[in-house]
A and B are shown apart, each in its own frame.
Chain A
Amino acid sequence: MSDVIQQDTPATTFRFNTRAALTHAVLIVGALIVLLPFYTMISLSLKAPHEIMQQTGGFMGSQQPFRDDFCVKLGNAVEDCLVNPIIYNYTTAFEKAPLLRYLLNGVIVTVSIFVIQVFVALPCAYALAKLRFWGREAVFALVLFCLLIPVHAIALPLYIMLAKLGLTNTYAALVIPWTISVFGIFLMRQFFMTVPDDLIDAARMDGMTEYGIIWRVMLPTAIPALMAFGIFSIVAHWNDYFWPRIVITGNRDLFTPPLGLREFKGDADGDNFGPMMATACIIVTPLIVCFLLAQRRFIEGITLSGMK
């Protein structure tokens, strides 16, 4: 019996290491490019105007108090107008425009949209998945057809319709076009079809109404899909710029966060990069934080939307 001890092929281990090293190298370069704007955004939101213009101060900025010229113009003494960059940037962001209000609008709009979407889509999905009725195939065909229609594409006629009803510059205008989510109907129907019929029959025998079945039997089984759908919806509508731009024309109080940022930019003269970046940070952070906390769900959601 031979006593030769054979190691793992040196050639393959060596090959493995260079390949992994190369992979990491490429990915790191990519990561740097991807992260560049985030780095810039955060960094600039921490800096004083002169540091921004001259590109000094490293990442954090030197955090030296600087002279706020605007405040001097208003007639205050120079000593009172020395402000710390971070504080200046972020307070200006909140003061120059009602950013808190915008954020609130964002929450109101995205939550309303999602809740209404659920109330519209779930019963429809249930009916298409589990109930037999005349015209079911036709309705489903209609759903499939509507999947082809991106709502942004029909913004113009929708705007006209809303204008005619006098609904421009209202929360209703922001929410209504999104209340029907054919994607949501489709997704939930797929899930509902996997629920065993016996479960539903048992519920019926127990005297549950059809409506009750939807919320007490079907919904619990589809929580993962629902969460994925929710994430998809909230991200899309929190970040939506196009539709609010069209439909909110005069009333600043109804601005959603993207609109708020855009307005900031519109007003901005060269000196306001700091607060503008601070605003951008504030708008972008909520979703990023949620993403980092619940990564798996987010990615599941995107993936689910693809697996059809």
Chain B
Amino acid sequence: MGSQRAHLWFIGPALILMVIILLIPIVIAMGLSLTDYSLGNQGAAFVGLENYERIFTRSTYEKMFVATFRYVFVVVPLTVGLGLGAALLIHSLGRIGDLYKTIYFLPVMAALIAMAIVWEFAFHPTIGVINSTLERGCGSFLEAWHWYAKGCARTFPLWLNDREYAIWTVSFIGVWQGFGFNMVLYLAGLTSIPAQLYDAAEMDGATRGWDRFRLVTWPLLGPTTVFVVTISFIRSFQVFDMVEAFYPQGGGPSKSVYVMMFAIYEKGIQQNLMGIGAAITVVFLGFVMVLTLIQRRLVERRTHYV
């Protein structure tokens, strides 16, 4: 029967592509990370773990880790928290909430590079709307706040070009772009919570909103939360668009925004140092895979059958 072999044709292309596009590159990256290869060279010299040593000792790479982790550990909690908060608020409104849902989801749909450029304009020290709005508050009671007064006296911060503020501003834009996605996931999770559980909670005496949240909502959002957190982690690790658009060279004021993906791009593509680029890639992949595996394990444990 011809159909005995049919499956080979079906899985063939997928298998081949998986191997070529996903698996082999990992092997190549691992191999390259042990060399000093540059594109265009004939061969490459084996340098052992030298690249990794550099990554874990040199200050540039220390800044890379700091920038990346700062970004990730600001963006993930905020996008998850805001996503959950927005979902809870919108869910309580019923049909009217749909309008807010649409609005909050728009940033997810819009190309980040485009919106980042707009934000850059908004954060512009002189012609940007943020600072000009802040300036309008000068001379009012807001000056009681020391930071505000300082801004009025001199200038308000150069949000994207100030070493102190750059990474947080970029994080803010990341949160702006990402929380709508998590909100949608949480909304789906909320609608799947059986209403009778809330009735039971009411009968048991969980009268206040906080009690109901702790007894029913949060536990039953367990799997959703695990998924949301993992997705947020992976997405935020991959931040690149904004950094390259704002700081085409160098990764921000004194490398305060020198995130891993940008480092890979800079070292590997711009500077053609494939060896170290590959090493960063391997470390990056390690992070991502470990995170996803943790998620899988957690979901298995936390999925409760109602």
Whether A and B touch directly in their complex, counting CB atoms under 8 A apart, is answered as yes
Interface residues of A (CB under 8 A from B): 19-20, 23-24, 26-27, 30-31, 33-38, 40-41, 44, 52-55, 119-121, 123-124, 126-128, 131, 133, 139, 142-143, 146-161, 163, 176-177, 179-180, 182, 185, 209-211, 214, 235, 238-239, 241-242, 245-246, 257-258, 261-262, 265-266, 273, 276-277, 280, 283-284, 287-288, 291-292, 295, 298-299, 302-303, 306-308
Interface residues of B (CB under 8 A from A): 2-3, 6-7, 9-11, 13-15, 17-18, 21-26, 28-29, 32, 39, 86, 89-90, 92-93, 100-107, 109-115, 117-119, 121-122, 127, 129, 132, 176, 180-181, 184-185, 188, 224, 227-228, 231, 234, 238, 240-241, 244-245, 248, 261, 264-265, 268-269, 274, 277-278, 281, 284-285, 288-289, 292-293
Return the contact of A299 from the options B18, B105, B176, B244 (Cβ within 8 A): B105
Given A33-B176, A155-B264: A160 touches B39 (CB 8 Å cut-off)? yes
Q: How far is the CA of A133 from the CA of B9 in the complex (A)?
A: 12
Chain B residues, Cβ within 8 Å of A55: 127, 129, 132
Closest Cβ neighbor of A42 among chain B residues: B118
Q: How far is the CA of A37 from the CA of B114 in the complex (A)?
A: 10
Assess whether A159 is in contact with B268, with CB atoms less than 8 Å apart. Answer: yes
When A and B form their complex, which 9 residue pairs have the shortest distance between CB atoms, in order from nearest? A123-B10, A157-B25, A124-B14, A180-B17, A157-B28, A280-B114, A210-B6, A127-B10, A239-B111
Assess whether B32 is in contact with A157, with CB atoms less than 8 Å apart. Answer: yes
16 contacting pairs across A/B (C-beta < 8 A) = A23-B93, A37-B122, A38-B110, A40-B121, A44-B121, A142-B18, A146-B23, A149-B289, A152-B240, A154-B29, A156-B277, A179-B17, A209-B2, A235-B109, A306-B188, A308-B227
Assess whether B119 is in contact with A37, with CB atoms less than 8 Å apart. Answer: yes
DSSP class of A's interface residues: helix, strand, loop or mixed?
helix
DSSP class of B's interface residues: helix, strand, loop or mixed?
helix
Closest Cβ neighbor of B224 among chain A residues: A306
Give min CB distance, B36 to chain A, whole Å.
14
Chain B residues, Cβ within 8 Å of A153: 238, 281, 284-285, 288
Given A27-B90, A34-B103: A303 touches B18 (CB 8 Å cut-off)? no
Q: How far is the CA of A65 from the CA of B107 in the complex (A)?
A: 33
Q: How far is the CA of A19 from the CA of B261 in the complex (A)?
A: 44
Give min CB distance, B140 to chain A, whole Å.
19
Give min CB distance, B54 to chain A, whole Å.
16
